[in-house]
Structure 1
Amino acid sequence: MFLKMVKNDFIRNKIVTMTVFLFITMAVILAASAIHNIANLIQGISSFQVSAVPADMTVMHAGEYDQAEIDQFTEQYRDHIAMQETMVLQNIDGSNIHFGQNQTMAGTIQDISFVVQNKHFDFIVDLDNEKLDVKEGFVAVPIYFMEQHDLEIGDTITVKSGWYEKAFVISDYARDFEMNSPLTSSKRFVINQDDYNEMLKMQAGELEYLIEFKLNETGDPAAVQTAYNEAGLPANGPILEGKIFAIFNSMSDMIVALVIIFISILLLVIASLCIRLTFLATIDEDIREIGVMKAMGISKKDIKKVYLNKYSVISAAAGIIGYLMSFAVVNLLNSNMRLYIASDLSGSLKYILSLIAPLLVYFMIVMYCKQVLKRIDKISAVEALRSDIMEGGKNRRYSFPLLQNKFFSTNMYMGLRDVGKRFKLYRLLLVIFIVCTFIVILPVNMYNTMNSPEFSSYMGIGKQDMRIDLRRTDSITEDFNKLQEELQNDSDIEKYAPYITSSYKVKNAEGTWDNMNIEIGDFSVFPLKFLEGRAPEGEGEISLSLAHAAKDGLNKKVGDEVTVRAGGEEQTLTVTGIYQDITNGGKTAKAHTSLGVNEEAVLWYIVSLDLAEGVDVRGKMDYYQNAYSTAQVNDIKEYTQQTLGNIIDQMGTVVIGGIAIAIIIAVLITALFLRMLLSKDMSQIAIMRSIGLTSKQISHQYMAGNLMVLLLGIILGVLAANFLGEILVSMAMSSMGAAKIKFVHIIWQTWLLCPLALMIAVGLTIFMSCRVAVKDDLSVVLRS
């Protein structure tokens, strides 16, 4: 009997059943694919790490060094260190690398190095995660540049530097565990040992060194780093722990997966609200049948089972279909991962983990249904059988009388009046419209923020038109001074500011010395946005990035003092401000020029500048790029794009998907809600038509009420995405060094375009639903 009742209910409520089924399926697809993606990511990173054997501690150093001292240090700390290897990098400026039709890699923000494979660890691998073995005359190019310049295997790149010139055929894509991510500022091209020796002999590039350590399983990287610093060994660049490379490799895919999981949770909330709405409407329609069953002696448990079985079957079927479809969807989400981390993931773990989503959704839906069905316990057989009589005898409150209407047309007022009188019924629809708007606006805000020049404030630099980077060459100081003189005399330049970054020794919270990159210059010209305090303005002042100031860093607050060793002398600097920075592992600092330049450990020179009004930015960039061939000249938007390009591109896909999902949800829920509402009000509609109201007038009443709910939902949804969204994104980004994200709002998108798309889709649904429902045969309704 129960199976027959469930079957009849399916047939009677096809639209409702299919809508709920679709939402549960979509929630399972997104949740399962996100979990699948995370499982792939974990497995891919692990597999990549096994193949590449990355260093546990890497010291970047430019300048002379004594390998014998490093070997001695390694032997001294054998209880921590398993292996040590020093990789010699030949840095070639992008303008000296030619490809295609007279194109070069000039303007890249990446340091380009030509290397040969290490012998023991930190291997660079191919797309099958096999150690690269490059033949003479060939080169393996990092994936980053293959994507940036549309290079393909078989293409030729030519290196022209000084007297050196040689053409290389691209033989492989190069995966580099330590320098894969765009967030790292260096990339390694792998060539054959003979080609490398020739390049070295011709002094084609500036030399830089990676002093790398592979630790034992019980080795402590913090202890090794402290000992290395105390030994005074070469380190005029950053010292990086191996775990930071894993974070960089997984960051873009993890952000996308978290956003998708969040959207799937919202979908599940919508499905639950939809089920609640369906249950309440069904119980209301079946109140007499429930009374009959209770009068016949059927238990409450068996009555609930009639309704519960239906949604148990729906949840199980939706879970199975969603789980299977997630394997197709996941391929759309992990294209970046397949290229950068692992192309052929194997193993059954990810399939097992993906089952978490459908099982969790099933149990959540069933438990929620049981909670809603408790309403049946409160219905007695007598009340159920006499519900129509009792409702007819209730005293009704006549609020919002029509005579008080002075501003709206009669039909519009009646529609708005209905919402006011039955707001408890409409609030479910309001919540769903808020959630749909949130799903649209939050990814749009994230995309616009990351793609905006103002995002530079989260990268430790002020807002500016152009940025000129000078990397280490023999003539770097001469070029830096010459550039400043030219900028001073260039009438197209409104303002500029030079900055010098060097490596210094700084005393940490334990009283030992660490290396820290400190930038000096005038930070009032292109001011940063500070979380606390201000920029260093006078002698003896310094500001720290959030990661450096944190408890696991230097553990400093505004007003505290920092001891820095510069030029063989110790200086005590006062912390004046804390700012956000997601570059260089989030650990940077900025000091007043009185600190002085650490000449032995200068890392790079930067000049930031703004152009006068009307000056062509691209033309000016080309001029300075040609005038200073070793410089990297970028506008700030291009700089951000090169650093965060992968994340921005994937977020763009999420934006499109979010808009499509939100519109589908809004349309289906609106159609479902109106079907139930108009079915519930059919007798009232019949009375209105019998006293002379036309179908068109009645349709306008329902359209006015529902459109008002939609408009209110859009306004509240946009406000929630703007303010609550900032809090959620800031929490997610705090681990990267940006704990207070401020969205960049493009008003015409967030307040016009996206809401307009929702209003058009939902408006058409309301119009079609009302038009069909109120034209039913009047005599049939009155007889019923």
Structure 2
Amino acid sequence: MFFKIVKNDFKRTKIITTAVFVFITMAVILAASAINNIANLIQSMSELQERAVPADITQMHSGEFDQAGIDQFTEKHRENIAMQETMVLLTLDGRHIHFGKNQTMSGTVQDISFVVQNEKFDFILNLDNEKLEVMEGEVAVPIYFMQYYDLKIGETITVKNGDYEKEFVISDYARDYEMNSSLTSSKRFVVNQVDYDEMRKFQVGEIEYLIEFKLNENGDSLAVQTAYIEAGLPANGPAIDGKIFLVFNALSDTAVAMVIILISILLIIISFLCIRLTFLATIDEDIREIGVMKAIGISKMEISKVYLNKYRMMSVLAGTIGYLLSFAIVNLINGNMKLYISSDLSGNLKYVLSLIAPIMFYFMIVMYCKKVLKRIDKISVVEALRSNIMERGKNRKYSFPLQKNKWFSTNIYMGLRDVWIRRKLYRLLFLIFIVCTFIIILPINLYNTMNSPKFSTYMGIEKSDIRIDFRKTDTITEDFNKLLEEIKNDSEIVKNAAYVTSSYQIKNTEDSWDYINIEIGDFSIFPLEYLEGRAPKAEGEISLSYANASKDALNKRVGDEVIVKVNGKEKTLRVTGIYQDITNGGKTAKADASLEINKEAVLWYIVSMDVAPGVDIHEKMNDYQNTYDSAQVNDIKEYTQQTLGNIIEQMYTMVLGGIAIAVMIIVLITVLFLRMLLSKDMSQIAIMRSMGLTSKNISHQYLAGTLTVLVFGIIFGAFASSYLGEILVSIAMTFMGAAKIELINVAWQTWLLCPLALIVIVGITIFVSCKVAVKDDLSVTLR
């Protein structure tokens, strides 16, 4: 019998049932996709680590090098070190690499190195996660450059440097565990040993070293790094813990998963509101039937089962469909993962874990349904049979009389009046509109923030028109000094600042020595925004990045002191400020120009400048690039986009996805809400029509009321995305070294385009829904 009742209920409420069913399916799809994405990421990272065998400690070095000392150190610390390998890099400027039609890679912010495959560990893989083997005359190009320059297998690149010129055929793409991410500033091209030896013979590029250690299973990484420093071994460059590569590789896909999970949580909240709306509509329609069932002795539990079984069946079916469709949807969001981490996402783990979403959703829906259905217990037989007569008008009799309206047309006034009288009912719709606006605007604001030149401040980079980087070359110091002299005589440059980054030793919380990159210069010209304190501007002052100042690093606050070893002498510096930086693992520092430059460990030179009003920035950049072809000349926006390219692309996908999801939700909920509202007001609508009001007049009343709720929902949602959104994004970015993100809010997008689009969509939905409902046969309704 109950199955028949449920079946009849499905037939009677096709629109409501279909809307709720689609909505639950969509919620399960997103939740399962997020879990699937995380499962894929875990599996893929595990496989990539297993195949690539990355180093646990990587010490970068340029300058004199003695492998014998490294070998002795390795043997001495065999209790911690399993293997050691040194990779020799031939580092070239991008201008020496030609491709396509007279194009070069001179505009890249990445350091380019040519290497041969390692023998023991830290293997560079192909797209099948197999160890790369490159034949003579061929080259494997990093995935980053394959995407950025649209390089294809079978095409050629030509290396030109001095007397050396050779054409290489692109035979494969290089999946590099340590240098995959755009956040790492170096990329490795893999060539054959014969070609590599020839390049070394012709002295193509600067020689740099990656001194790598693979630890035993229980090896102490900190002990090895401390012992390495105390042994005075080659360390003219940053030391990198292998864990940071894991973070960099997983970052963009983790960001996508976090956004999807956030949307899934919001969808779960909306689904509860949706179910509540559905039950209110259904119970209101069936109020007399409930009274009859109670009158003939059917228990409250049995009556509740009639409605509960419907949603049990719907949850099972929607959950199953959502679960299956999630595997198709996840392919749309894990393209970056397939390219950078693993092309083979086999295994059963993701299928098992994805079941969590539909199962969890089922139990949450059933529990919530039981809670909502408790209102049936409160309905007496008399109330149920008399509800249509007694309830209507009880609370409306003397509220907002029509004769007091002086400002609005009658239809608009009646719509606004209805919202105020039934504000508890409209409150549900108001909350849903807030959430949907949040889902749309937060990803847009996040995308605009990451795509803005201002985002450079979260990378520890001062905002300027042009940034010129000088990396390791034979003429680096000469070119740097020449540029500074030229800028002094350039009337088109209104202000400039020079910065030198060197590697120093710094005393950590364990009273042992670590390495730290300190940038020296005048930081008052292009100031950063500091979380605490200010920039260093006097002798003996230093500012630390958030990651360096945190408890698990140096554990310093503004006013504390740090001890730095400068050219063999210890120097005490006072911390004046803490800033945000997501580059180099987030661990950097800035000191006043009075601090001595560690000439033996200079990493790079940077010159930032602003041009005069009216000067063409790109033309000025081209002039400097042509004059200093060994330099990297970029505007800050281009620098940011190259560094955060993958994440920005992923966020763009999230923007489109968020808009699509929010629009679907708004349409479904609006239809569902109006269906409930119109069923409650059926007799009232019939009376208005019998008094001469047209269906158009009645539709305008509902349109005015619902759009008013929408406008207020958009306003609150926009503010929530700006303020609450900043908190959520900052929490997510804290582990990367940015603890306070200020989202960029583009006014015409937030306050004009998005509201206008939502108003049009909701307006059309209301018009269509009302047009169908208010044209029913009057005689049937009145009867």
Give the TM bin, normalised by the shorter chain.
over 0.9
Q: Which residue does the alignment assign to 1:759? A: 759
Q: Equivalences for 1:181-580 in 2 at 5 Å? A: 181-388=181-388, 390-391=390-391, 397-580=397-580
1:102 equivalent in alignment to 2:102: yes
* In 2: Cα distance, 1:441 partner to 1:295 partner: 51
Letter of the structure 2 residue corresponding to residue 631 of structure 1: A
Q: Which residue does the alignment assign to 2:741? A: 741
SS of corresponding position for 2:373: helix
* In 1: Cα distance, 2:604 partner to 2:378 partner: 75
Q: Which one is further off, 61-70 or 14-23?
A: 61-70
* In 1: Cα distance, 2:27 partner to 2:232 partner: 56
* In 2: Cα distance, 1:393 partner to 1:57 partner: 76
Deviation per CA, 1:13-61: give whole Å up to 9, x if none: 0111111111111111111111111111111111111111000000011
Q: Which one is further off, 287-296 or 302-311?
A: 287-296
| Alignment check: 8 A CA contact 1:229 1:514 kept | yes
* In 2: Cα distance, 1:585 partner to 1:444 partner: 26
Letter of the structure 1 residue corresponding to residue 421 of structure 2: K
| Alignment check: 8 A CA contact 1:542 1:577 kept | yes
Q: Which one is further off, 293-302 or 205-214?
A: 293-302
Deviation per CA, 1:365-418: give whole Å up to 9, x if none: 111111111111222334323434543795765122223322212221111011
Residue 541 to residue 12, structure 1, CA distance change in 2 (3 Å): same
Q: Equivalences for 1:81-160 in 2 at 5 Å? A: 81-160=81-160
- CA apart distance, 1:277: 0.7
1:669 equivalent in alignment to 2:657: no
Q: Size of the alignment, in residue pairs?
A: 783
- CA apart distance, 1:756: 1.1
- CA apart distance, 1:535: 0.4
- CA apart distance, 1:516: 0.2
| Alignment check: 8 A CA contact 2:288 2:384 kept | yes
* In 2: Cα distance, 1:32 partner to 1:696 partner: 43
Letter of the structure 2 residue corresponding to residue 409 of structure 1: S
| Alignment check: 8 A CA contact 2:154 2:169 kept | yes
Letter of the structure 2 residue corresponding to residue 74 of structure 1: T
| Alignment check: 8 A CA contact 1:23 1:268 kept | no
Letter of the structure 1 residue corresponding to residue 759 of structure 2: M
Residue 395 to residue 768, structure 1, CA distance change in 2 (3 Å): closer
* In 1: Cα distance, 2:221 partner to 2:393 partner: 80
SS of corresponding position for 2:516: strand
- CA apart distance, 1:65: 2.1
Letter of the structure 2 residue corresponding to residue 456 of structure 1: S
| Alignment check: 8 A CA contact 1:107 1:631 kept | no
SS of corresponding position for 1:594: coil
* In 1: Cα distance, 2:123 partner to 2:429 partner: 56
* In 2: Cα distance, 1:23 partner to 1:666 partner: 10
- CA apart distance, 1:777: 2.5
| Alignment check: 8 A CA contact 2:89 2:113 kept | yes
SS of corresponding position for 1:585: helix
Letter of the structure 2 residue corresponding to residue 343 of structure 1: S
Q: Equivalences for 1:598-637 in 2 at 5 Å? A: 598-637=598-637
SS of corresponding position for 1:595: coil
Letter of the structure 2 residue corresponding to residue 297 of structure 1: G
* In 2: Cα distance, 1:707 partner to 1:668 partner: 15
Q: Which residue does the alignment assign to 1:660? A: 660
* In 2: Cα distance, 1:392 partner to 1:438 partner: 35
| Alignment check: 8 A CA contact 1:564 1:570 kept | yes
* In 2: Cα distance, 1:194 partner to 1:697 partner: 84
Q: Equivalences for 1:161-172 in 2 at 5 Å? A: 161-172=161-172
| Alignment check: 8 A CA contact 1:88 1:209 kept | yes
Letter of the structure 2 residue corresponding to residue 599 of structure 1: K
| Alignment check: 8 A CA contact 1:56 1:214 kept | yes
SS of corresponding position for 2:152: coil
Structure 2: which 5+ residue stretches go unaligned? none
* In 1: Cα distance, 2:46 partner to 2:11 partner: 50
- CA apart distance, 1:463: 1.0
Instruction: Give percent identity, aligned residues only.
Output: 74
1:716 equivalent in alignment to 2:716: yes
Deviation per CA, 1:276-310: give whole Å up to 9, x if none: 11111211221221122222222221111100000
* In 2: Cα distance, 1:619 partner to 1:41 partner: 43
SS of corresponding position for 2:644: helix
* In 1: Cα distance, 2:646 partner to 2:137 partner: 31
Residue 535 to residue 679, structure 1, CA distance change in 2 (3 Å): same
* In 2: Cα distance, 1:67 partner to 1:394 partner: 92
| Alignment check: 8 A CA contact 2:139 2:192 kept | yes
- CA apart distance, 1:691: 2.5
Letter of the structure 2 residue corresponding to residue 775 of structure 1: K
| Alignment check: 8 A CA contact 2:52 2:124 kept | yes
Q: Which one is further off, 549-558 or 394-403?
A: 394-403
* In 1: Cα distance, 2:100 partner to 2:120 partner: 35
Deviation per CA, 1:673-701: give whole Å up to 9, x if none: 11221121121122222223333222221
Q: Which residue does the alignment assign to 2:40? A: 40
Q: Which residue does the alignment assign to 1:180? A: 180
| Alignment check: 8 A CA contact 1:117 1:132 kept | yes
| Alignment check: 8 A CA contact 1:163 1:204 kept | no
* In 1: Cα distance, 2:25 partner to 2:695 partner: 36
Q: Which residue does the alignment assign to 1:727? A: 727
* In 1: Cα distance, 2:590 partner to 2:484 partner: 20
SS of corresponding position for 1:571: strand
SS of corresponding position for 2:391: helix
TM-score (norm 2): 0.99
* In 2: Cα distance, 1:378 partner to 1:680 partner: 19
- CA apart distance, 1:778: 2.2
RMSD (Å), alpha carbons = 1.2
Letter of the structure 2 residue corresponding to residue 544 of structure 1: L
Deviation per CA, 1:115-138: give whole Å up to 9, x if none: 111110001010111111111111
SS of corresponding position for 2:36: helix
* In 2: Cα distance, 1:696 partner to 1:388 partner: 25
| Alignment check: 8 A CA contact 2:281 2:679 kept | no
Letter of the structure 2 residue corresponding to residue 665 of structure 1: I
* In 1: Cα distance, 2:395 partner to 2:516 partner: 77
Letter of the structure 2 residue corresponding to residue 648 of structure 1: I
* In 2: Cα distance, 1:774 partner to 1:392 partner: 18
* In 2: Cα distance, 1:726 partner to 1:593 partner: 34
* In 2: Cα distance, 1:386 partner to 1:103 partner: 82
Deviation per CA, 1:594-644: give whole Å up to 9, x if none: 111000000000001111111111111111111111100111111011011
| Alignment check: 8 A CA contact 2:124 2:177 kept | yes
SS of corresponding position for 2:553: coil
Residue 760 to residue 133, structure 1, CA distance change in 2 (3 Å): same
* In 1: Cα distance, 2:33 partner to 2:285 partner: 38
- CA apart distance, 1:422: 0.5
Residue 704 to residue 388, structure 1, CA distance change in 2 (3 Å): closer
* In 1: Cα distance, 2:395 partner to 2:665 partner: 38
